[in-house]
Amino acid sequence: MRWYQLDVDRVEQKLHVTSNRGLNVKQVEQRRKQYGSNILEGQKHTPRWLLFLKQFQDFMVLVLLAATLIAGLLGEYIDAIAIMVIVLVNGCIGYFQEQKAEKSLDKLKELSAPMANVLRNENWEKINSRDIVVGDVVKMNSGDRIPADIRIVKSNSMETEESALTGESLPVVKHATAIESNHLEAQDQVNMGFMGTLVTRGSGVGIVVGTGMHTVMGQIASLMVSTKKMSTPLENKLAELGKILIVVALVLTALVVGVGVFQGHPVYSMFLAGVSLAVAAIPEGLPAIVTVALSLGVQRMIRKRAIVRKLSAVETLGSASVICSDKTGTMTENQMTVKEVYVNGSQLYVTGDGYDIQGDYFLEEDKIDTDFPNLEAMLLYGMLCNNASLQVKKGKYNVDGDPTDGALLIAARKMGLTSSLGDKYRMVKEIPFDSDRKRMSVIVEDENNMRFLITKGAPDVLLPRSTFHMEEGGRKVLNKAAKSNINQAVDQMAEKALRTIAIGIKSIPKDESLNTAFIEDDLTFIGLYGMIDPPRKEVQSAIEECRQAGIKTVMITGDHVKTASAIAQKLHLLPEHGRVLEGHQLNQLSISELEDVIDDTFVFARVTPEHKLKIVKAFQKKGHIVAMTGDGVNDAPAIKASDIGISMGMSGTDVTKEASSLVLMDDNFATIKSAIQEGRNIYENIRKFIRYLLASNVGEILVMLFAMLLALPLPLVPVQILWVNLVTDGLPAMALGMDKAEGDVMKRRPRNPREGVFARGMGYKIISRGIMIGLVTLIAFMLTYQNNPDNLVYGQTVAFTTLVMAQLIHVFDCRSENSIFSRNPFENIYLVLAVLSSLLLLLVVIYWEPLQPIFHTIFLSLRDWIFILVLSAIPTVLFGYTKK
């Protein structure tokens, strides 16, 4: 279907939809069944059977399987079967870990998918773009990705960038008129919008005519969906560490085998023991556990309303030393409310908060109504120069659109003006707001075919463009005295933390061109709105927590300097001697000059997105790790340049979200603090289980090495070594990855991003605890064996049990950088359950008679258990009181 050839009415008829009502629920369900989800087919997942087989492709596991085959051929059936079962169980654990990580990452992709503004049942609602169907009516604003192929039915200076399709980066101007040509390429179909392309300017409404693989983008889907999984810096570090550990483990294992053979042990038994020891000692499960820990932490972040788009951000969060945050919506409620109006030189006060339409206007203590000169006209102009709409849900008004526009609508409603009044005016043209212009204009035509322009924006932008102003007696020339009074009103409002919006008008002759650069000049200044967006209640404590964590919070806003300072002081963000810089001052400073003052600056006011990039670079040159928030298209460069780009999930554009590494689902500053806390905790949890795994592995190698050097019999048989690896390395290590943050995690300085895995004394902790675990296990074996030289199995059972118990006790020491006694063990119920499960599995192989011949174990008495527990506790108790 050549949709570009059809006029709007014909498109609506063919798709059985009207652009002012949208689809109903029944139509949506029918079309979803007919066309499927609005997604591009990506690369297929690895089949589950292949993922399972991949768990056994490790070289050491293959060697072990070959060794068990030899054992079977030599008649050692019990050992061979036992080892095969353990390897199989270990493979199953690895498989489920990878499955969980893959599902978590798929969930993240789904959550971070673009959202679309869709009209259904006459109500605009935001939905996941994958849920769009053919016939949906979609609204798009500057910065949005077009979610499907659409036929444009309304364009307000809309332009799109289609380089993903055409390779041409110049924006394409869009309109809604049908095109008669028969064979047009996509780039020439200027009344169409295509999936994946970007709205760079203006706004528009369109009807979806193609979804998923039935779009132009679907035809080149292979270019769009072959996304390669990138490893995080931490995963790369651990991969390098893994290679080193493999070499060390193999060298030590070879030493154990060589010494054992030299001491007279059979070559075959030493080879099997050596391979089992290598399999147990090499932390081959470390990458999988890291991936699971990262994904579990990311899921916790999602519950705290933060979506991680790039896993590398999880590590970087723990290093953040500066948060550059937007004010509006992030530190404040984003529910703008008009509290004052300046008109005719008078200051009026408005009652009512938030999006409640109940409220009145007062001049001092006198209530006023629509008879007040110019007030009703000013409120009407605010309604017309507006892209927001009011929706009623569950008896409450909600604003669909910009909160500032919403505040103007609510202010008009309080005076009794409704949207039906605005219907008497026809929109001729819109000149959209952008952060450089700091204003928005519309040209409307009334019932008498008279045209006029309405402009709203920052007072310091509109006043220089105004030639006249309105007073009670009518229009007057805007002289110095009038300008001074207006500026004084602006300052008074700003001191109360009110954001000021000015509004002006201008008559436009019917024959005048609407494309002149001077169309917004010679305005008649009507009045000022003073509105407040109250600070979020939780932000002040979040800023204080960040301060204790060594993280500086900086407010960045386009608001008036006095408004910004007032809000910053309310939030206790601006210290007594803290600097406040304005945009025009930033223009005069070079990056090196900004570096000199940036550590003392806490508020940046009247800034543009270009200033944000300058601020990021100055902080980075001072050695800071910078988190930067943003929501607009022009924020994307600063977000991309920052160490941690943070976009707004509710108000942010799709471009900004794609440039960011973290998306705030609630646009709340407190969520940034929670994300940093969780990021620090994830990194610490990864350190915890690295410490636990490596200390345990050191202990396992050393007990065998010491025994061989002392010419003792094997303290552990191969099946026991593998069982220790299965029982102690799996569940407890995973449970450490689910540990809650320590109480002082937000009272520590930010982590140095160049910090090694073994920093802060972790290398010493691993070696010291590993040596002690190995020693107590060897002592348990020696004392038991020397007292019962004819009962080697008894000695091996005691050594086996001591090694397992020492590791299970040691896991609680790994929960804290400080003393083991600084944390309640029952805080992490998963760890308690994991340890109990491991203990139960240990008891099964000791006391269930059918398994005793397989695992070379015998019954242990209560006296044996007291002896074992005392020895097992020594490594943890010995070091557990100290930080070292």
The residues annotated with a catalytic role in the active site are: 326
Strands (E), 405-463: 426-431, 439-445, 451-457
End-to-end CA distance of the chain: 73
- Enumerate residues 6+ apart whose C-beta is below 8 A from 124: 117, 118, 139, 389, 391, 400
Residues forming a β-bridge with 151: 192, 207
Q: Give the integer Cα–Cα distance in Å for 328 and 499.
A: 10
Rounded to whole angstroms, how far apart are CA atoms 715 and 797? Answer: 9
Q: Identify the CA nearest to 407 among candidates 444, 359, 371, 368.
A: 359
Name the nearest CA neighbour of 142 among 209, 71, 203, 101. 203
Q: How far apart are CA 398 and CA 356, in angstroms?
A: 9
Angstrom distance (rounded) from CA 799 to CA 822: 30
Tell me the C-alpha distance between 586 and 845, whole Å: 72
Specify whether the CB–CB gap between 71 and 28 falls below 8 A. no
Which residue's entry shows tokens 């700091």? 438
Q: Which residues pair with 340 in a beta bridge?
A: 349, 530
Beta-carbon neighbour count of residue 687 at 10 Å? 18
Q: Which residue is associated with the tokens 């192929």?
A: 149
Helix then strand then coil, in percent of the chain rounded to 5, is 50, 20, 30
Closest by alpha carbon to 157, among 141, 139, 177, 178? 141
Q: Which of 386, 456, 370 is nearest to 419 (CA)?
A: 386
User: Residue 821: which residues within 8 A CB-CB, separation 6 or more?
Assistant: 880, 881
Cβ–Cβ under 8 Å, residues 292 and 91: no
Q: Is 396 helix (H, G, I), strand (E, B) or coil?
A: strand
β-pair type (552-556, 439-445): unpaired
DSSP designation for 112? T
Name residues whose C-beta falls within 8 Å of residue 476's C-beta, 6 or more positions apart in sequence. Answer: 468, 469, 470, 482
Q: Residue 273 burial (CB < 10 Å; 0-12/13-18/19+)?
A: buried
Cβ atoms 497, 566 nearer than 8 A: yes
Angle (nearest 5°) at CA 304 between 643 and 736: 85
Q: Are 697 and 249 in contact (CB under 8 A)?
A: yes
- Give the chain's count of helices (H) and strands (E): 32, 28
Neighbouring residues of 164: CB distance < 8 A, sequence distance ≥ 6: 196, 197, 217, 224
For residues 500 and 47, give the distance between their C-alpha atoms in angstroms, rounded to a whole number.
59
Token pair, residue 85, equals 């079962």
- Are 413 and 382 in contact by the 8 Å Cβ rule? The answer is no
C-beta of residue 136 within 8 angstroms of C-beta of residue 207? yes
Please list, in sequence order, all residues whose beta carbon lies within 8 angstroms of the beta carbon of residue 279, skipping any fewer than 6 positions away: 60, 61, 64, 721, 722, 725
User: DSSP class of residue 121?
Assistant: T
Q: How far apart are CA 187 and CA 168, in angstroms?
A: 9
Q: 352 near 358, Cβ under 8 Å?
A: yes
